[in-house]
Each structure stands twice: as C-alpha cells, then as structure tokens.
Structure 1
Amino acid sequence: MKGLFCRAGVSDAQPKFVIQEMTLPDVLGSHQVRVQVKACGLSPLDLKLLADVGIQRDLIPVGREVAGVVLQVGPKVKFFQPEDEVVGVLPLDSPCSGLCDVIDVDEHYLVQKPEKLSSVCVASALRDGLCAYTALHTHAHMAAGHTLLVVDGASSFGLMVTQLACYHGVKVLTTSHSPQNHTFLEQLRPSVGVQDPLLARVIPVYNGSSELLPLVLEETGGLGVDIVIDSGVHLLEEEESEDMKLHLHKHDIISALAVGGHWVTSHQDLQLDPPDCRLLHLKSASVSFLNPEVWTASSAQQGRYLHILKDIVEKMSTGVLRPQPEEAVSIYEATVAMETVQRRQKKKAVVQL
C-alpha cells in the first residue's frame, strides 16, 4: 500500500513529496477504525508548526482531510459500524497518509457523512468550514444583528465564512480582489428561502483600498463593523508584491472596527505598532489568531470539535454551506498537485481515490 509523504528540505530548500510504501498493523487498536479512503483534501504543510509541537520526522504524511467508508472497527469503538460513511481530519501526529487506500484512525477524529454529500465535496471543503466555524463562533462570538467584514469573500474560506454568517443573521460586507470576483460576489444568493443577495456590500480593492473605510462607515452608520476576518494582512507600506497589494493594511482593518469589535487574523507574524495598539485600546477591541490546527493539536475540547464537524457536514448536505466546486485529480497526479499547493500557487486540491 502506497501513500504520499513529505521529505522536508534542508535549510531553505523546498520540501520534496515522495510516494512511499506503508503497511498497517494486523490488529486494530481498541478505539481505532479502519477506513477505505474515497477522497482526500490537500492543504499546505506548516513545517514550522510541526517543529514547534515537537513532530520531527524524516517523512511527514501528507493529506489529512479524508472521506471514506468504514471497513473494520476496534473492540471498544462505540460510534461506528462497518460500511458507515465517515469524514474527518487526521491528527497532526498521524502515521498514515490520507492518500493511502486504507488507513487506521481513532474514532474520535471522525463523524458520520450524510449520504447525499459527495466525498470529494466534503474532503475539499472541510478545512475551510472548520476555519469559518472557529473564526465566527469560537473567536468572534458571532450573534444575529452583528456586522461582519470578510476580506476576499470569493476565496473558498471567505465564501464559507459569508454563508455561515448570513445563516445566523449577520450583515456581511466583503472585499473583492478582481472584477470577476466582484461579479461573482454580487450574484450570491441563498440556496433556500428568500433569494435576497447574501452580501450587503461588495467593496472592490483591486485598484487600492482607499474607498474601504468610507464605504464601511457608510454601511454601518459611522459605527464600524463588529467583526473583521482576514485572509492575510499588509503590514508595511513598502511591501509591493502582487499578493500583498490585495491584502488590507492593518491600520485599515483596525480603523474599520466598531467599539468592542473583534479582529480574527490568519497572519501568523502579525506585528502591531504602539499607535495600532492605542487605537485598539481606545475601541476596546480585540485581536484573535486563527490556527486551524488547534482542535487536533489539543484534545481539551474534543467533544466540541466533533460537534463542529458534524454541524459543518450537515449544513453542507442541506445546502446552507455551498463550497466552491473543486475538480478532483487522480492519485497519479497527487505529487504534482501537492507541490503546487505547497508553493501557494493553488490554495488547495482534492484527490479522488
């Protein structure tokens, strides 16, 4: 049985992705489930995070968002039976690559997959759904009547945030990073119920962000938004790379916040200068860091994590959350697809087994 693994590069060299043979033990652990994988999502590997939590291996398994069918269960497994369809995220220290035909995983990392939800769809969108749920519920404490600014609402993550927030009665504003994205966001409608636009305002920033703050204040009666969720931050004025130009500057984000607002950032190395901190202090606003791995890195809230996963897949199956369709690639293209994802030339990929 073969799986995809990462051989981390020496110094600044790019990591290499290789196909390796692996075998499963003859006997399952007490709470383990043997799953035949149907689809696996590929996301960039955070090698620095793995080192920080003490996971250092010559070969690191690749592919952790999996969907499949239960083949066999351990003697103490309570929640699953053979032939159950399941979905989940493998833990950071999992010895198995999600791209293996068959894997062993603890039952506490899996939930039932609704029958009408495709394996490819849920494997490609599960991570974005988990991040959206964590940002809105865990960090921002979203409630009906709040206003939310989503940076890059046309991205797969931004789309999940937008749909989840609208479902809970939040007024959503978003930025668009190209004319095509702007048109797509303007045409967003819910799949059920009243077909009003999902978004209160789409703010174009592909020609600069100078109009952002006036338009946010116009939409909120001069008060600012209760929540901002970014997909990256522009820290320095002299940063001129194309990617950085599309991110909002940290000062624009803080200025757009209302009193008591929450800023949820995906930027690992955020640096706030004293004037930024002073403005946050005056607004009594807060900053939270969105780490999508925190649920599987710590078992302190395992029950809550499983509740979130179950709610995400149920909302996908009923059409509340409609992820952007991701074209699946074959196992033979997995190495090339993962290299593209790791170089950030593509945000994610999904492999159908």
Structure 2
Amino acid sequence: SPGILPLDSPCSGLCDVIDIDEHYLVQKPEKLSSVCVAGALRDGLCAYTALHTHARMAAGHTLLVTDGASSFGLMCIQLACYHGVKVLTTSHSPQKHTFLEQLRPSVAKVIPVYDGSPDLLSVVLEETGGLGVDIVIDSGVRLQEEASEEAKLLPHKHDIISVLGVGGHWVTSHKDLQLDPPDCRLLHLKSASLTFLNPEVWTASSSQQGRYLHILKDIVDKMSTGVLRPQPEEAVPLYEATVAMETVQRHEVLRSHIKL
C-alpha cells in the first residue's frame, strides 16, 4: 500500500542513502546552497501549483495571499509580482506587518488581521473598487466563529468566498474544508471555483512528469537569478533530529530541516 514500508523491504526507512530515480531530479545551480534549495523547493512547488496550474494567473489579475510572511506565502507573493499581478496580503503580527511592507517588489496592500484589525472584506473591496479579487490563496481556513486565538488569525470561509470576484479562483490548503449550501450558492452565483492544493499529486501520475520537472527547474533558476528569495532557515544537525521532530509535532514550528 502507498506509504507503508513492508517488513521484508530491502530499503530502510532510516537509511543514510536514499535511492531516487534520476528522472525526478534537477540540477542545483552552484551559487545556491543545498540548505537554501531544500528549504524552498516545496514552497516553490506549492506556489507554482496554486498560481499557474490551479488559478491560471495572468498579468493584471488581483491576488489575495493570507499570511504572506510565511515561507509559502512569500513564494506566492514573489512569483505573482514577477508576473505582473496586483497582490494583497494579510499579516499576523506587527513584526510580520513591517516585514511585508518592506518587501521589494512591494505588495499593493498589507492587511493586519490581529488585535481587532479592520474587517478583511471591507479592505479588499475598497482596494479592488468593489469588484473583489481574481485569486485567493489561503494557508488555512477558520470554519467556526468560535475558535482559538491562533485560529482567529485565519480567514473565515465565508469571508474568502465574499472577497472573490466574478469568475474568481480559491486555492485552499485546508484538506478538511466543509462548505454549507449557502456557501456553495454564493460560489455558484459568482461562477467561482474552488481547488484543493496538494503538491504531492505531481508524482502520482507519470503523465505529469515533464511538467513537474519543468516546475522544479524553473524554481531553482528563479532562485539563482534572485526572482524568488526564500527566507533563510538554519538546518538542524542530525543528532538534534529527534528534538526537532517533537517541536514540529507540538506545532511549535511548521517544519524543520535536518542536515545529514
């Protein structure tokens, strides 16, 4: 079964060397460090899949990225700006707000969603002349009104649908998303679409291999030329891997990179 390693398998789940088909590899530019590429490749793949494959991004479109200071959100912002898209984004803290306002190329609007900040819908409609955005990419969705303090930073599903313009695209990372009939009716009235973002699907079909490799190569090329500039992350040595895994499981950090 997928994801299960048989007990009689010759490959160990904790081996020092991993066999990977050469047809799933791209060459790393010499000027990029292995840590930098390893930390940014997945977020870059997610951004490409969301913007190009699902949302069909084009110059002149308007994009809303939630939590733009996250590693995934930053990749989406930089890729969209490169293609001439007007970008709006939300910030989850004063520090992240300052960081997003100082980005170059700059975003059109940074919307704070912390400490009783202004309503997301009203700000987006004001920035778009009441039309709404063409694309929304979220990093999580709040399904209920009553939620934890951390979840309250996430946009409510109804707010996301409301900020979509006619024919808009909503790309979500929320795998357990539930829509009620009124939500579906509003999407129908706008002729809007909803797509689930799952970057793992590229390797599920051999027919997508060419596009998958093209995306990976374009990511490292754009990183090499400075179009994509991921936030630097420090790799954890192998002997601290267990501690790093525990911090991820406790949701203290989203991920951790291990240097072998």
TM category, shorter: over 0.9
1:272 counterpart residue number? 179
How far apart, CA to CA, are the structure 2 residues paired with 1:58 and 1:338? Answer: 23
1:113 corresponds to which residue?
A: 28
Q: Following superposition of structure 1 onto structure 2, how do residues 153-302 of structure 1 map, counting pairs within 5 Å?
A: 153-190=68-105, 197=106, 199-208=107-116, 210-238=118-146, 240-302=147-209
CA contact (8 A) 1:182 1:204 kept: yes
Q: Deviations over 1:20-63 (max 9, x none)?
A: xxxxxxxxxxxxxxxxxxxxxxxxxxxxxxxxx6433478xxxx
CA distance in 2, matches of 1:224, 1:95: 51
Find the aligned partners of 2:12 and 2:43 in 1 and give their Cα distance.
22
CA shift at 1:342, angstroms? 3.1
* CA offset digits 1:83-111 (Å, max 9, x no partner): xxxxxxxxxx99565x7543321012110
3-state SS in 2 of match to 1:112: coil
Which of 42, 51, 70 aligns to 1:127? It is 42
Q: Distance in 2 between matches of 1:257 and 1:228?
A: 7
Residue-by-residue CA offset, 1:234-262 (whole Å, 9 max, x unaligned): 01112x21221110000000000000000
**Percent same amino acid at aligned positions?**
81
Given that 2:112 and 2:118 are in contact with CA atoms closer than 8 Å, whether structure 1 keeps it comes out as: no
Instruction: Determine helix, strand or coil for the equivalent of 1:188.
Output: coil
Tell me which moved more, 202-211 or 212-221: 202-211
Amino acid at match of 1:203: I
**Residue 3 of structure 2: aligned partner:** 55
Structure 1 residue 215, shift from structure 2 partner:
1.0
Using the alignment, how far apart are the partners of 1:208 and 1:58 within structure 2? 52
Q: Point out the structure with the larger strand share.
A: 1
- Matched residue count: 259
Q: Which runs of 5+ in 2 are unaligned?
A: none
Q: Secondary structure at the match of 1:300?
A: helix
CA distance in 2, matches of 1:56, 1:118: 32
Deviations 1:306-345 (A, max 9, x none): 0000000111111100001101111111121122223322
Which structure has greater helix proportion? 2
Which amino acid letter does the alignment assign opposite residue 131 of structure 2? Answer: L
Runs of 4+ off more than 6 Å: none
Q: Distance in 2 between matches of 1:324 and 1:312?
A: 15
Post-superposition Cα deviations, 1:206-259, rounded to whole Å, max 9, x if no partner, equal 124652111111111110000000000001112x21221110000000000000
Q: Which runs of 5+ in 1 are unaligned?
A: 1-52, 60-92, 191-196
Q: Aligned ranges for residues 81-120 of structure 1 at < 5 Å?
A: 95=11, 100-120=15-35
Render the CA deviation track for 1:263-304: whole Å, top value 9, x for unaligned.
000000111111111110110000000012111233220010
CA RMSD of aligned residues (A): 1.9
